[in-house]
Chains A and B, each alone.
Chain A
Amino acid sequence: MKKQLLAVAVAALACVGAQAEDTLAKVKASGTITMGVRDSSGALSYTLGDGKYAGYHYEVCQRIIASAEKAVGKKLDVKFQSVTSQNRIPLVQNGTVDIECGSTTNNAARQKDVAFVVTTYVEEVRIAVKANSGITSIAQLKDRNVATTTGTTSVQLLRKHERANGIDFKEVFGKDHADSFLLLESGRADAFVMDGQILAGNIATSKAPADFKIVGEVLNVEPIAIMIRKDDPAFKKLADDTVAALVKSGELAKIYDKWFVQPIPPKNTRVGLPASDATKAAWANLNDKPAEDYAKK
């Protein structure tokens, strides 16, 4: 319950402090910039322990902060604030966090409260099963136990899919991704429906990665982006330009490769997820369209 209470308390604070402000002026005045990071959002953003963080979005943010340092003309002290999916939006709104580098889906509802840097990663929702289960498609999951994680959009996705196709899953909910994967591993669930990179990450770090595979159609596509405050055109332009420069020099692809294909700390495992066509398309055609625009295609 603590986390929820905190979310409410933080949100209450947000009511007071929520107003547009110029991030660049703010960081210039204070000499510090606060980066919102996640403890465990796959290879996008995660902790190495000891207050150290790493990941693909973490590294992209470091580049954006480097550009900000150039823009304000002085070295900034970077602070890290661990955020959760419950408190990340209020914390950005009230100025506790200046730039959130996690795994936030850019959608229309959130665009009312915050702004997003151009999409740097496109997530595909997939199905993980045991390699010997013989399941290859979502149609085969009828009346089977399907695991997913509480507090993610995949839960709603499954619900909509059931209704649209008139089929029934027996959903089991893990309280976090590790828990959901354990449901699959222990046989309580026949499949785990979640973001592709989370599935790949969990499989990579499991006891026997060869026992699991990712199968079936892409169930949903969601743009994942770095989150900043709304109505702050100067900072948004700086961040967008930084990402555009990284794409142009080919560096973004290299950073992606570093986190999703090469072995990564702390255990030197590989996520093994080369950039998807959807992610490459987002790089080729930089935009900050919400998830709703992707669904229309």
Chain B
Amino acid sequence: MTWDWQIFLTDDGSGRTYLEWMLEAWRWTLAVAGSSWLVAMGVGAVVGTARTLQDRPVLVKLANAWVELFRNIPLLVQIFLWYFVVPKIIPAFQQVPGFVLVVFGLGFFTSARIAEQFRAGIQALPKGQRYAAMAMGFSTWQTYRYVLLPMAFRIILPPLTSESMNLLKNSSVAFAVSIAELTMFAMQAQEETSRGIEIYLAVTALYAMSAFAVNRVFAFIELKMRVPGFVAASTGGGH
């Protein structure tokens, strides 16, 4: 086995090198993952919170339906549905760019999982916190905004870290809707160059680096937001 890393500096036929192409593909991966993360966090937080509301049965049912719908269908199938099936029913959908489709497809899929984490975080809090807020005369909005969510968010930071790293890796499904991201680059470039091992190693390194960067950012947030005596991130003790 001989290595041939020079392959990254050769022309791919359109005037750019494979290295330039790979970095461009990396940007697409980060763009897809970053945008989907915003969608997933936004929708996930709202839906997850809605699942814990005390006196809104309709809202709770709707949120449950959302979670079950997006959690029970495989990701690649969801992307496929958005791309091929929905435009059959609503022709206007054909005009939506693949990037937007995959950002919302991936975002909604992950939002179902993040919603579950938010629900778990809120339900993990002692009942007394909600009662205390009510006793203070807080409205539902205020109860969540000032009492429940700030604590719940801290509790779920570790699973949220994993979920965000997963999201980055799941962004590889974007190749199915013709986004020129890292996985597509790997599949295509290894065919063109016949140097699959070098290409896959480089792509693996980029994925690992990106996921690890997400991990470090979250670890930093966890450290900065820690409430002394509550969930201690580093010592492993709860309350």
A contact set with B: CB distance below 8 Å: 1, 4, 7-8, 11-12, 14-15, 18, 85-86, 89, 107, 109-110, 112-113, 150-153, 155-156, 159-160, 162-163, 171-175, 179, 182, 186-188
Contacts and interface: CB of A to CB of B under 8 A. Distances in A.
Contact of A89 (B88, B176, B187, B194): B194
Given A151-B191, A153-B192, A159 B13 contact: yes
Nearest to B13: A160
Contact of B14 (A110, A112, A163, A172): A163
A171 B1 CA distance: 35
B200 A156 contact: no
Contact of A150 (B169, B184, B194, B200): B184
Contact of A159 (B12, B183, B194): B12
Contact of B186 (A4, A11, A15, A113): A4
Contact of B196 (A7, A107, A186): A7
Interface residues of B, number: 31
A84 to B, nearest CB: 10
A113 B186 CA distance: 20
Given A1-B169, A4-B186, A7-B200, A186 B87 contact: yes
A160 B14 contact: yes
Nearest to B200: A8
Interface string B164-194: 0000010010011010100110111011111
Contacts of B87: 186, 188
A182 B184 contact: no
A160 B196 CA distance: 21
B1 A173 contact: no
A86 B196 contact: yes
B178, B183, B197, most chain A CB atoms within 10 A: B178
Contacts of A151: 187-188, 190-191
Nearest to A162: B14
Contacts of A160: 13-14
A85 B188 CA distance: 11
B176 A163 contact: no
B1 A1 contact: no
B192 A4 contact: no
A16 to B, nearest CB: 8
Given A160-B14, A182-B84, A175 B1 contact: no
